[in-house]
């Protein structure tokens, strides 16, 4: 056989060899081109399909009939913007008609959201007539003692949380192929508690940045300044609460997605203990709803409202036997109302002013100082707390676990043919840097970017490396638990988001600023934010000379040039955190800060164009 082949080869001239080579290359090019064109055709067909679905969803939203919007109110001039607690109390006292209240808020939602040029665009889908029908069917025979905690309260639901009859997309066009057939468990629970969903709130594609924009419903704006974002990923809902379109909203939080929008929008936001509530029935922004990192850092639902009392009502409504009987993975921990209502006992508060990774702006530092001064003046003991790990360690660990797969893989898979929005471009580029180039860049870039690049790998990390990072996460949790126990403090108070709401489109370049927000997610602890103050004229700066040497970099320059400039009047908050399953105490501390600081500022930018 070999002799035959050798003889044949000896008969070939150089020209014959060249012809064979040329024909092989030609055939290869043809086959490759065919496959390329076929893949390209499939890609274009998929994008066209997704665009058709987007057009259809928008048309359905635009053409949906809302009879309640044409309904005349008894005396609209006397209608008030009420908290959830006030709404419940007035309905029970027969001084507020729940149907009239729904109609009033529906008109307000439409007025401040619809306009394409000036509207805040916080709403994904409108449920006004459905809400009116629910309000009409409320049991009229209940009393203050027998009425459920959220009786008659209109609410906005983050669109990823799964409301029957709506799309639950997480900003992904591929999820427009069908509507929710049933309520998720969180929505089911608040309905049982008497709440009335009136709309769903907009979010960001893939739900992983501090903005709320996607190709389906567009970009949400901040009611304090329309050129800025209301945050994300629960940004639409936060804007609705800030404008008084709804008294209450239900969001979700995996790295600050409730608390960042609350900070940016000047409202209260609360993330419960990460395993205390259920996400059963809520979509996950990954292909086939499979998010592997969620086993280490789970998402949790939670409330956003104008007051801490309203967040308390949500926790009271959801922490019931209906919760843990419907989801056996949730520990049966009743809500201890008496701990929250104890407004007499004095507290020992630990505090820290910086995580060493992202220095808070001047307003954020003042907000923390004013809060601590108010707590001390009221008789509470405030002691400095030394965090057992700093932001450099914490941030590297979060990035290392969330990006363990490499190359933004599960995020891009979740798009199922849709293009990623521009806000993710920095993260995508960074995740695809070859490791040989990554090794060089880590040695020449500024320290923060180098640190993050060093926490990731092109192609992902090994199972052993992921195991080590998971072990580090467990060690971090033990260290913080021991430190808080040894300090003997009831809670920790520290900066909220360290800078005010950013202009649209730059969240991907400011992910470093999220470090204060995701710490409770790493620990699985409850945490909330309370608005304290607004940026003053002389605080619209972020001076390099005020920063540690290892923070004088691109992120700091963007903060100085784009975030702090013209930021006067934007709200800033403080954060509160307690150990796991001490949600009631966390809310108790938040309530005390709210009472003592008495933040009164309200957004007005959204009103200027009506």
pLDDT at 522: 98
Query: Does pLDDT of 389 surpass 80?
Result: yes
Question: Residues 172-182: what's their mean pLDDT?
Answer: 97
CA 210 to each of CA 261, 298, 500: distance values in angstroms, whole numbers, following the listed order = 8, 18, 12
Least confident of 3-12, 82-91, 258-267, 358-367: 3-12
**Token couple for 567:** 């930021």
Known active-site residue 233: yes
Q: Is residue 4 very low, low, confident or very high in pLDDT (cuts 50, 70, 90)? A: low
Lowest mean pLDDT among 70-74, 156-160, 289-293: 289-293
Query: What are the backbone angles phi and psi of residue 529, rounded to the nearest 5°?
Result: -125, 145
Q: What is the mean pLDDT of residues 157-163?
A: 98
Q: Are 125 and 199 in contact (CB under 8 A)?
A: yes
Task: Say how far residue 403 (Cα) sits from the centre of its chain.
Answer: 18
Mean pLDDT of the 285-310 span: 93
Confidence of residue 77 (pLDDT cuts 50, 70, 90): confident
> Mean pLDDT over residues 467-494, rounded?
97
Tokens of 68: 């309640």
Share of the chain above pLDDT 90, in %: 89
What is the band of 74 on the pLDDT scale with cuts at 50, 70, 90? confident
Secondary structure (3-state) at 549:
helix
* Domain assignment of residue 415, yes or no: no
Residues 6+ apart with CB under 8 A from 300: 252, 253, 254, 271, 272, 273, 274, 275, 276, 277, 279
Give the range among 60-64, 192-196, 284-288 with minimum mean pLDDT: 284-288
Of 156, 212, 220, 233, the catalytic one is: 233
Mean pLDDT along residues 171-192: 98
To 10 degrees, the CA torsion angle through 352, 355, 358, 360?
0
State the catalytic residue, choosing from 99, 158, 164, 316: 158
- The catalytic position among 160, 168, 234, 257 is 257
Active-site annotation holds for 257 = yes
Question: Which pLDDT value is given to residue 610?
Answer: 57
pLDDT above 90: residue 350: yes
Question: What is residue 9's predicted lDDT score, i.e. its pLDDT?
Answer: 47
The alpha carbon of residue 426 and the mean position of all alpha carbons in its chain are separated, in whole angstroms, by 19
Q: Is the residue at 405 inside a domain?
A: no
The alpha carbons of the chain give a radius of gyration, in whole angstroms, of 27
Domain count, the chain: 1
**Active-site residue flag, 137:** no
Stretch 314-333: mean pLDDT: 97
> Per residue in 217-254, pLDDT tens?
999 999 999 999 999 999 999 999 999 999 999 999 99
Give the Cα separation of 57 and 173 in Å (integer).
Answer: 10
Q: Which distant-in-sequence residues (6+ apart) come within 8 Å of 357 by Cβ?
A: 390, 391, 392, 394, 395, 448, 512, 515, 551
Residue 538: how many other CB atoms lie within 10 Å:
9
The CA–CA distances, whole Å, from 142 to 83, 146, 152, 195, 240 equal 20, 6, 11, 15, 29
Question: Cβ(232)–Cβ(210) under 8 Å?
Answer: yes
The SS3 call for residue 1 is: coil
- Mean pLDDT throughout 389-411? 94
Side-chain-side CA neighbours of 330 within 13 Å: the count stands at 25
Q: What is the pLDDT of residues 186-223, one digit of tens each?
A: 999 999 999 999 999 999 999 999 999 999 999 999 99
- By residue range, what is the domain housing residue 482? 64-287+301-398+462-607
Around 472, how many Cα atoms within 13 Å sit in the side-chain half-sphere? Answer: 16
- 571-577 and 527-534: which strand pairing? antiparallel
Confidence of residue 42 (pLDDT cuts 50, 70, 90): confident
Other C-beta atoms lying within 10 Å of the C-beta of residue 90: 17
Residue 84 lies in a domain: yes
CATH at residue 211: 3.90.1300.10
**Which pLDDT belongs to residue 294?**
87
Give 237-297 as a 3 state SS string. HHHHHHCCCCCEEEEEECCCCCHHHHHHHCCEEEECCCCCCCCCCCCCCCHHHCCHHHHCC
pTM for this one? 0.94
Q: How far apart (Å, rounded) are the C-alpha atoms in residues 171 and 187? A: 19
* 426 within a domain of the structure (yes/no): no
Is the CB of residue 230 less than 8 Å from the CB of residue 264? yes
Choose between 449 and 343: higher pLDDT.
449
What DSSP string describes 303-328?
Answer: EEESSHHHHHHHHHHHSSHHHHHH-T
Out of 75-84, 96-105, 191-200, pick the least confident.
75-84
Sign of the torsion angle spanned by Cα atoms 200, 205, 210, 212: negative
Look-up of token digits 């499979």 = 290
> Which residues are known binding-site members for substrate?
207, 233, 254-257
CB 149 within 8 A of CB 317: yes
The answer to whether position 7 is within a domain reads no
Rounded distance between C-alpha atoms, residue 271 and residue 297, angstroms:
13
Would residue 319 be called left, alpha or beta, if left means φ above 0 and alpha means ψ between -120 and 50 degrees?
beta
201: in domain: yes
pLDDT confidence tier of residue 26, bands split at 50, 70 and 90 = confident
> Among 165, 160, 93, which residue's Cα sits nearest to residue 129?
165
Question: How do residues 504-531 score in pLDDT, each as one tens digit?
Answer: 999 999 999 999 999 999 999 999 999 9
Lowest mean pLDDT among 53-57, 102-106, 373-377, 399-403: 399-403
Answer whether residue 590 is part of any domain.
yes
From residue 514, give the alpha-carbon distance in Å to each of 202, 263, 398, 453, 511.
20, 12, 11, 17, 6
Residues 530-571: tens digit of each pLDDT = 999 999 999 999 999 999 999 999 999 999 999 999 999 999
- What is the average pLDDT score of the chain? 94
> 125 is written with which tokens?
């889908």
Residue 362 above 70 pLDDT?
yes
- Decide: 255 and 291 in contact? Cβ < 8 Å: no
Residue 431 lies in a domain: no
Q: b/e for 390-408, b at 16 or more Cβ within 10 A?
A: ebbbbbbbbbbbbbbbbbb
Using pLDDT thresholds of 50, 70 and 90, give the confidence band for residue 8: low
Whether the ω angle into residue 233 lies within 30 degrees of 0, i.e. cis, is yes
d(CA 100, CA 196): 13
Residue 5 has pLDDT above 60, yes or no: no
In angstroms, the CA 184 to CA 337 distance is 25
357, 514 Cβ separation under 8 angstroms: no
Alpha carbon distance 49, 61 (integer Å):
18
Q: How far is CA 154 from CA 131, 135, 481, 571, in A?
A: 8, 9, 38, 25
Instruction: Say if residue 22's pLDDT is above 70.
Output: yes
Q: What are phi and psi of 354, to 5 degrees?
A: -155, 155
């Amino acid at each position: 056989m070999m002799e035959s082949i050798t003889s044949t080869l000896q008969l070939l001239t150089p020209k014959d060899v060249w012809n064979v080579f040329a024909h092989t290359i030609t055939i290869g090019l043809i086959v490759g081109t065919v496959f390329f064109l076929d893949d390209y055709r499939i890609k274009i067909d998929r994008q066209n399909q997704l665009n058709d679905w987007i057009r259809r969803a928008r048309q359905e939203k635009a053409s949906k009939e809302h009879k309640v919007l044409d309904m005349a109110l008894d005396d609209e001039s006397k209608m008030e913007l009420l908290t959830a607690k006030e709404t419940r109390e007035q309905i029970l006292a027969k001084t507020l008609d729940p149907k009239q209240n729904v109609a009033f808020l529906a008109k307000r939602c439409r007025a401040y959201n619809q306009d394409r040029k000036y509207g805040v665009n916080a709403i994904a889908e409108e449920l006004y007539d459905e809400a009116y029908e629910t309000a009409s069917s409320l049991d009229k025979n209940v009393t203050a003692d027998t009425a459920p905690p959220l009786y008659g309260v209109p609410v906005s639901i983050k669109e990823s949380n799964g409301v029957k009859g709506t799309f639950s997309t997480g900003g992904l066009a591929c999820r427009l192929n069908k509507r929710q057939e049933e309520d998720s468990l969180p929505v089911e629970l608040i309905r049982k508690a008497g709440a009335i969903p009136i709309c769903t709130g907009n979010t960001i594609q893939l739900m992983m940045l501090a903005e709320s924009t996607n190709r389906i419903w567009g970009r949400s704006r901040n009611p304090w300044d329309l050129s800025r974002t209301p945050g994300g990923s629960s940004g639409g809902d936060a804007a609705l609460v800030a404008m008084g379109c709804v008294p209450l909203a239900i969001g979700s939080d995996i790295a600050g997605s409730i608390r960042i929008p609350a900070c940016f929008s000047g409202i209260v936001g609360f993330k419960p203990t990460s395993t205390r509530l259920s996400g059963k029935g809520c979509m996950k922004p990954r292909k086939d709803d499979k998010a592997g990192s969620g086993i280490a850092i789970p998402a949790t639902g939670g409330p956003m409202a104008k007051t801490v009392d309203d967040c308390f009502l949500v926790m009271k409504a959801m922490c019931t036997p209906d919760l843990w009987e419907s989801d056996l993975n949730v520990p049966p921990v009743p809500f201890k109302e008496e701990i929250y209502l104890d407004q007499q006992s004095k507290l020992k508060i630990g505090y820290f002013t910086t995580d060493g990774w992202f220095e808070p702006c001047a307003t954020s530092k003042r907000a923390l100082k004013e809060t601590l001064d108010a707590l001390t003046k009221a008789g509470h003991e405030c002691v400095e707390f030394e965090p057992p790990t700093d932001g450099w360690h914490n941030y590297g660990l979060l990035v290392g676990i969330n990006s363990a797969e490499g190359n933004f893989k599960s995020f891009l898979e979740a798009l199922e043919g849709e293009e990623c929005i521009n806000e993710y471009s920095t993260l995508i580029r960074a995740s695809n840097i070859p490791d040989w180039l990554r090794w060089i860049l880590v040695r020449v870039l500024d320290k923060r970017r180098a640190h993050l690049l060093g926490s990731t790998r092109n192609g992902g990390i090994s199972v052993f490396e992921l195991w080590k990072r998971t072990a580090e996460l467990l060690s971090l949790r033990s260290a913080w638990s021991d430190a808080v126990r040894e300090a003997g403090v009831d809670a920790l108070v520290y900066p909220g988001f360290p800078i005010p709401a950013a202009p649209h489109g730059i969240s991907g370049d400011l992910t470093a600023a999220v470090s204060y927000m995701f710490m409770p997610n790493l620990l699985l602890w409850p945490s909330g934010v309370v608005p304290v103050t607004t940026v003053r004229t002389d605080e619209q700066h972020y001076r390099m000379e005020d920063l540690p040497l290892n923070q004088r970099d691109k992120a700091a320059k963007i903060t100085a040039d784009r975030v702090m400039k013209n930021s006067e009047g934007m709200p800033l908050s403080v954060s509160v955190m307690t150990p796991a399953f001490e949600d009631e105490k966390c809310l108790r501390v938040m309530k005390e800060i709210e009472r003592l600081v008495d933040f009164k500022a309200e957004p007005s930018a959204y009103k200027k164009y009506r």
